[in-house]
Amino acid sequence: HIPNVLEQILTPFLTMLVTFAIMIMGVGPIVHAIESGMLVGVEAVIHLPFGIGGFLIGAAYPLMVLIGIHQTMIAIETSLLASTGLNPLITLEAMYGFANLGVALAIFLRARSNKAKATSMGAFTSQLFGVSEPTLFGVLIRYNFRPLIVTVLTSGIGAAILSMLNVAANSYGLAVVPSYLMYIYNGHALLWYTIVSLGTVVAAFVATNAFAIP
């Protein structure tokens, strides 16, 4: 029995202590096992031949952002950096942002609605610095799903090319324009990342003009 004078202090403290112990000894190993399994699975996908793994990750990432589970990739990226010193996963995911740029720019230039033009211009500006939600929800799925399909396919193709070229970042957390800073450690990586990322913008722009103007 805890004396009344100490109850208000000791009860919360002991509750937190027991909960913390359960989390460390019970939940912690389970979460670690899940994370390890995800890491093995993602690494296996990344290393699929002929850029297949890159395409799968690049194409799936826009859909992961759409349903809000993309943040789970941060733990995997951290593990990749800790074990190898490189982060090929963010390289593949990054093509999503560049594809969005091409789609938003095409819709801004070609859309008949002034509202669509204004929305896509704002989305384009935000996307330059890696904020993709205005493009995703304000442009890609607002009018029809064709812009989203363009982003999925061009992001996948760009990621497939980078996968075949073995380009990998040495950090994480940066997207679109700031993302180039993750490749200055290696001139070869920076060159190919620049070429493929700009090519992804152009491909998404052309495809949107051809198939996805609202």
pLDDT in tens, 110-119: 888 888 888 9
- CB-CB neighbours of 70 under 10 Å: 17
Cα-based distances in Å from 96 to 5, 56, 131: 59, 12, 11
Q: How far apart are CA 163 and CA 166, in angstroms?
A: 5
CB 178 within 8 A of CB 129: yes
Residue 87 phi, psi dihedral angles, 5° rounding: -135, 80
Q: Output the pTM of the full model.
A: 0.82
* Confidence band of 32 (pLDDT split at 50, 70, 90): low
Altogether, the residues listed in the chain come to a count of 214
Contact 180/170 with Cβ under 8 angstroms? no
Q: CB pairs under 8 A, 24+ apart, for 76-84?
A: 76/35, 76/38, 76/39, 76/42, 77/172, 78/172, 79/35, 79/39, 80/39, 80/43, 81/170, 81/171, 81/172
User: Has residue 1 got a pLDDT over 80?
Assistant: no
Over the stretch 158-206, which tens digit does the pLDDT of each residue have?
999 999 999 999 998 889 999 999 999 999 999 999 999 999 999 999 9
Contact, 33 vs 137, CB < 8 A? no
More confident residue, 32 or 149: 149
Better-predicted residue by pLDDT, 19 or 129:
129
Average per-residue pLDDT in the chain? 88
